[in-house]
Amino acid sequence: MVTVTRNLKKMGCMSQLKITALDIFILMFDMFKMSDEMKLNGVNIIQLPKNFDRRGNLSVIEEIKNIPFTIKRTYWIYDVPGGEARGGHAYLQNQEFIVALSGSFDVVLDNGTEKKIYSLNRSYYGLYVPRGVWRQMDNFSTNSLALVLASIPFDPKDYIYDYNLFKAMSRDANELVNLPK
């Protein structure tokens, strides 16, 4: 913990992002809990209920029941020009659930050591992204619509936009994971 804080201060990041030692501890604790099998910190495709009807199908998302958090904010991404990407950040606290309501797009997730691409193209499943995972969305099809449910209200202090800072935090957290028992 002291090493992480010292490294971030050397990089001049503590004052830029207004990150507290508690924020760093929480992020590192979450990363410490990850298992060898779940290298991307609990990322999960979640199947949503499907109600079939001849008039049209219906799917629902209920907080806590279908996704592992209470919904505090909802937003959607649409009309993304060809070749453009969205995201390019991680969160200290926020968790998200991303659904392709229409069309398709890729979500590229990165825990600092491993990257994985999830292609979303159905409205009856979504991608759960816990805090502490770098995310970027790209390859949007024409007329695609991404619904994003978030666990906290918008807070600019929750974002990590600097990928090098994110990697440093991830590396320091991984050092904690690999300590002898």
- Catalytic residue set: 89
Both tokens assigned to 91: 């969160």
Burial (CB count <10 Å: 0-12, 13-18, 19+), residue 100: buried
Phi/psi at 108 (5° precision)? -95, 120
